């Protein structure tokens, strides 16, 4: 156990060293931007400023103050939290400040400044829940977390718990408000801020600071800026700026900070970061890929097949409506098609999954959709709009004379469609239908945002625990490629099978064979 070695003596020591080397600091060029990554949906640490023009929050003020102190031209770059470490690894960021907990695993991949904030996890539950008090009570329950966070890692350790990961903590909390999960495990200051300051209703915190964590500024593993940032941090701790920033965002006095995060004490620096694909790590990435990607691929295929099935049925009705003689039906359906083709699928998904339940709860109805039906509904509604136009085109491409001939034979419109027009039209729409299917396989990756563990999300989860973005996403891309290639073969085969000329050829060939 390390003592809470507060650092005034060490600060004094470092200050002396750096004052001696002051020219080094003033030589830091103000004009070269120092790119600092952050995930800006983590209030009060980072969030969009009120006028939306930039960022604000404790981390933002702190980083600016440190930058001022050491002469760095800090420029913030917003990105998803699980993308920060890969971005530091590739050098596309110079540093990152994002309420990031200093952990031993991360410490093997990136460098950390000295801790700048003491936090810990909290469990949030619905206000009327009296059964959950601590981690033990979460066994076997549904828990929402933010992907790649310490909350997610802690939730993963709970026996039999179903952990659903979201891109931001805001979405995880929304899931709790909508009653779709039993709890959210997340950093205490952020959940408390959401409830107390941002007016999140129907949610309470049980078990505040159930872990002890320290936030640090992350840098590329061999960055020589670590000392500089530490110096800046110590300076603002010493000259009172840190306290001022703390008081601006939190009540009370700041916690005592150790010089080194306890999680890093005792961990040895390995060659892991300089050679990230050392043998044992390569093996664990590989076994994770083998274990998880097939699961994800199956989910992706099921989602696509269900959505194309319902989408096709819906699209057929819409197409019949579009060619009907009723202007009212025609106009309504045209609006439908324009709406679903003219708005992003992601927005449609958010409306169906997060928006509708919130709306119904607002009017006193306790209604919500499970993840799978929500995803299938959103994808089917969208694909139906595209397919409707394709089917309509297919129907209209059949010669008008056939309608007249059927009418002369006494068939009604519906019979004509069913018996004569559709079988021919279906053959004509098969190639574009195949294209839609392939597009849909790729579009299913969008439903990862509602916590659906399909192929892409499985990849993200592997990256969150191994930090091997390149290898993992290449593997994910290859699996998508396999799925799309197989689908295109399947559609080619179907086209061939339904081609009357080829069918006739096959028939006569088999007859010839029988004769001989």
Min separation Cβ 98 and ligand GLN, Å: 5
- Residue 292 corresponds to which tokens in the numbers above? 């998880």
Closest CA relative to residue 420, chosen from 435, 433, 436, 404: 404
Residue 43 or 276: the one with the smaller Cβ distance to ligand GLN is 43
Token pair of 62 as six digits: 């702190």
**What tokens were used for 121?**
């996890």
For ligand GLN, which stretch binds (CB under 6 A), given 97-105, 158-166, 324-332, 389-397? 97-105
Residue 58: left (phi > 0), alpha (psi -120 to 50), or beta? alpha
452 binds ligand GLN (CB under 6 A): no
The correct pick among 66, 87, 89, 98 for binding ligand GLN (CB under 6 A) is 98
Query: Residue 456, interface with ligand GLN (CB under 6 A)?
Result: no
Q: How far is the CB of 72 from ligand GLN (least distance, A)?
A: 22
The total of other beta-carbon atoms located within 10 Å of residue 138's CB is 24
Tokens of 350: 């958010």
Distance separating alpha carbons of residues 375 and 164, to the nearest angstrom? 15
Four-point Cα dihedral 177, 170, 221, 230, nearest 10: -110
Site string for ligand GLN, 104-143 (x = CB under 6 A): ----------------------------------------
CA-CA distance, 435 to 69, in Å (whole number)? 56
| Cα–Cα–Cα angle for 219, 89, 15, rounded to 5 degrees | 15
- Answer for which of 37, 67, 99, 321 binds ligand GLN (CB under 6 A) is 99
Sheet holding 33-38, edge to edge: 73-78, 33-38, 95-96, 218-220, 110-112
- Answer for which of 56, 89, 146, 382 binds ligand GLN (CB under 6 A) is 146
Verify binding: residue 149, ligand GLN, rule CB under 6 A. Answer: yes
Contact 94, 66 (CB under 8 A): no
CB of 176 to ligand GLN, least distance (A): 16
Q: How far is the CB of 166 from ligand GLN (least distance, A)?
A: 11
Residue 412 neighbours by CB distance under 10 Å:
10
Least Å from the CB of residue 78 to ligand GLN:
12
User: Of 150, 174, 230, 235, which one interacts with ligand GLN (CB under 6 A)?
Assistant: 150
Q: How many residues sit in the footprint of ligand GLN (CB under 6 A)?
A: 12
Q: Which stretch binds ligand GLN (CB under 6 A): 92-100, 127-135, 250-258, 403-411?
A: 92-100
Work out how close the CB of 155 gets to ligand GLN at its nearest, in angstroms, rounded to a whole number. Answer: 12
Give residues with Cβ within 8 angstroms of 52, minimum separation 6.
none
Q: How far is the CB of 490 from ligand GLN (least distance, A)?
A: 41
Q: Which of 100, 143, 164, 369 is the binder for ligand GLN (CB under 6 A)? A: 100
* Selection from 378, 385, 311 nearest residue 342 by Cα: 385
| Contacts to ligand GLN from residues 25-64, by CB under 6 A | 39, 42
| Whole-angstrom distance, CA of residue 82 vs CA of residue 106 | 12
Residues 158-197 that bind ligand GLN (CB under 6 A): 169, 187
Q: Phi then psi for 117, rounded to 5 degrees? A: -160, 140
Q: Which is nearer to ligand GLN, 190 or 226 (CB)?
A: 190
Q: Among 93-101, 220-228, 269-277, 362-370, which window interacts with ligand GLN (CB under 6 A)?
A: 93-101
- Which of 108, 110, 143 lies closest to 37, judged by CA? 110
Return d(Cα 77, Cα 23) in angstroms, integer: 29
Task: Name the residue nearer to ligand GLN (CB basis): 187 or 443.
Answer: 187
Q: Is residue 101 involved in binding ligand GLN (CB under 6 A)? A: yes
Q: Is 81 in the site for ligand GLN (CB under 6 A)?
A: yes
Summarize as ranges the residues that interact with ligand GLN (CB under 6 A): 39, 42, 81, 98-101, 146, 149-150, 169, 187
């Amino acid at each position: 156990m390390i003592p809470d070695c507060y650092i005034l003596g060490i600060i004094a020591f470092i200050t002396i060293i750096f004052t001696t080397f002051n020219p080094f600091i003033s030589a830091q060029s103000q004009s070269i931007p120092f790119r600092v990554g952050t995930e800006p949906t983590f209030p009060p640490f980072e969030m969009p400023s009120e006028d939306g023009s930039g960022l604000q929050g404790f981390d933002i003020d702190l980083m600016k103050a440190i930058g001022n102190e050491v002469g760095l031209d800090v420029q913030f770059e917003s990105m998803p939290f699980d993308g920060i470490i890969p971005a530091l690894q590739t050098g596309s960021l110079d540093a990152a400040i994002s309420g990031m907990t200093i952990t031993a695993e991360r410490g093997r991949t990136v460098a950390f400044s000295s801790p700048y904030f003491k936090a810990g996890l909290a469990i949030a539950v619905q206000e009327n829940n009296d059964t959950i008090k601590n981690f033990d009570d979460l066994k076997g329950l549904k828990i929402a977390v933010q992907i790649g966070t310490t909350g997610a890692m802690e939730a993963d350790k709970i026996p039999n718990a179903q952990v659903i990961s979201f891109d931001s903590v805001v979405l995880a909390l929304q899931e709790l408000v909508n009653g779709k999960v039993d709890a959210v495990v997340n950093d205490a200051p952020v959940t408390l801020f959401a409830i107390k300051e941002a007016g999140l209703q129907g949610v309470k915190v049980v078990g505040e600071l159930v872990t002890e964590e320290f936030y640090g500024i992350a840098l590329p593993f061999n960055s020589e800026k670590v000392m500089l940032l530490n110096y800046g941090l110590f300076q603002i701790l010493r000259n009172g700026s840190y306290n001022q920033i703390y008081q601006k965002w939190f009540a009370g006095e700041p916690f005592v900070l150790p010089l080194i995060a306890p999680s890093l004490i005792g961990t040895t620096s390995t060659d892991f970061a300089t050679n990230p694909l050392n043998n044992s790590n390569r093996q664990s990435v590989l076994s994770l890929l083998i274990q998880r990607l097939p699961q994800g691929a199956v989910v992706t295929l099921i989602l696509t097949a269900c959505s194309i099935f319902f989408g096709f049925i819906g699209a057929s009705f819409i197409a019949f409506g579009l060619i009907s003689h009723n202007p009212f039906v025609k106009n309504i359906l045209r609006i439908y098609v324009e709406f679903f083709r003219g708005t992003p699928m992601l927005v449609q998904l958010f409306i169906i999954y997060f928006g509708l339940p919130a709306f119904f709860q607002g009017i006193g109805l306790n209604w919500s959709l499970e993840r799978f039906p929500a995803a299938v509904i959103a994808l089917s509604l969208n694909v139906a709009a595209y397919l409707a136009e394709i089917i309509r085109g297919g129907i209209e491409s059949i010669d008008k004379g056939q309608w007249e001939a059927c009418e002369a034979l006494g068939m009604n419109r519906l019979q004509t469609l069913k018996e004569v027009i559709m079988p021919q039209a279906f053959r004509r729409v098969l190639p574009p239908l195949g294209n839609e299917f392939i597009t849909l396989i790729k579009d299913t990756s969008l439903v990862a945002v509602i916590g659906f563990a399909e192929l892409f999300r499985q990849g993200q989860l592997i990256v969150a625990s191994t930090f091997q973005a390149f290898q993992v996403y290449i593997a994910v891309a290859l699996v998508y490629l396999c799925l799309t290639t197989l689908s295109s073969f399947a559609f080619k085969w179907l086209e061939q099978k339904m081609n009357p000329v080829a069918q006739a050829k096959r028939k006569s060939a088999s007859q010839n064979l029988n004769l001989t």
